[in-house]
Amino acid sequence: MSILDSNKINTECLSGRIDEVIDRTLADKRLVGAVIKVAIDGELVYSRAVGLADREMSRLMQEDALFRLASVSKPIVSTAALVLVAQGRLQLDDRVDRWLPEFRPRLQNGEFATLTIRHLMTHTAGLSYRFFQEENGSYQSAGVSDGMDQSGITLEENLRRLASVPLLYTPGTEWKYSIATDVLGAVIAKVTEAPLSEAVHSLVTKPLGMSDTGFIAVDRERLATSYANDAPEPRPLLDPDSIAFMEGTAGFLLAPGRALDDTAYHSGGAGMVGSAGDFLQLLETLRKGGASLLPESLVHDMTTNQIGDLPMAFWPGRGFGLGITVLKDPVAADTPESPGTWRMGGTYGHSWFVDPKQRLSVVAFTNTALEGMSGQFTVDLCDAIYDRRKK
């Protein structure tokens, strides 16, 4: 039975359904290791560490393993920005150049663009990512970092390079997943007059007890080794390394060692490190309405569609809130999730989602890039949780 026809998740044999998907994926050598956590009604109903944190060293995955979060950083940093909004220190309709006077990108016609915090948080700012562009595209030519390589430059220098490239479109008129959260991170640092790492710690991770989460791994012994999909089995990522994304694009430039380098600039969109348990704590806080962290009204804005009917490439049937995708049409998205479900992933191999109607939160962190983010594993895991039977 589809969850769309049911009143609640079928918890009978839930663990068995999830185990079957995980064990099959490991046996197929599509993942090296993972930590999966599922909470329903605030109760942890499934928690399992599987596979290997380091295959070459035969180090087993542990439930408190640390992972390079990549884009899982975005909801954390977006939450920090909303805490500042709640405190009256930042407004969603503030112009970005109020806080970052040097960041003044131009439109295609050469005029200066009007960019707001809302544009950054909804990814309607006219920006992109280098990995989305063609080889030797404008970002690569300008030396723009996506925040996952070891660029050796400061955040300020990266934003200077970014602002030197014309925007792809007039802010507010289109949606494109982008480096906007890195710009948002710079705003947060400016508003708080502190490094982004300190700001996120004081605004989000410390109040929620997320002691595993930051811009540097808190314990290198717990940091999982990163792998890339390959045949006949995933290969360890080099440092640096590159991974193909889609045909015709430049692909990802990755530097796994960045997670241990305290000189790397703080990338708000891709630079954090953390554990599955920590991230589940954030998701549950937001699902329950923000608790002492945020007013419910801001959580509502964050987790409901804010971009109208703007089309979203790669995510049919979904809209975008303030830092996360929001499900509008389960049929178009081909998913058993309830309308209103919010989810995202991360390049290094992560996926997560929250289904408020089912009071469900799921965190699936893996150490295998792309497969754990958008591969068959994420589809199979979701289907197993909702007990969607394949016809």
Residues identified as active-site: 71
Cis peptide before 356 (omega within 30 of 0): no
DSSP string, 235-284: EEPPSSEEE--STTS--EEE-GGGGG-TTS---TTT--EE-HHHHHHHHH
3-class secondary structure, 149: coil
Closest CA to 147 of 269, 35, 330, 19: 269
3-class secondary structure, 333: helix
Question: What CA dihedral angle connects 203, 256, 122 and 200, to 10 degrees?
Answer: 10
Structure tokens at 225: 């080794």
Alpha-carbon 169 to chain mean position: 23
Strand pairing of 67-68 and 273-274? Answer: antiparallel
Closest CA to 91 of 101, 103, 82: 82
Q: What length does the chain have?
A: 391
Residues paired with residue 368 on neighbouring β-strands, in sequence order: 227
* Sign of the alpha-carbon torsion through 75, 66, 148, 104: positive
CA distances from 69 to 6, 65, 66, 382 (A): 33, 12, 9, 20
Give dist(CA 9, CA 222) in Å, integer. Answer: 33
Cis peptide before 240 (omega within 30 of 0): yes
Cα angle 99-130-235, degrees, rounded to a multiple of 5: 125
Structure tokens at 388: 């969607």
DSSP-derived letter for residue 108 is T
Place of tokens 């692909």: 251
Structure tokens at 305: 């569609």
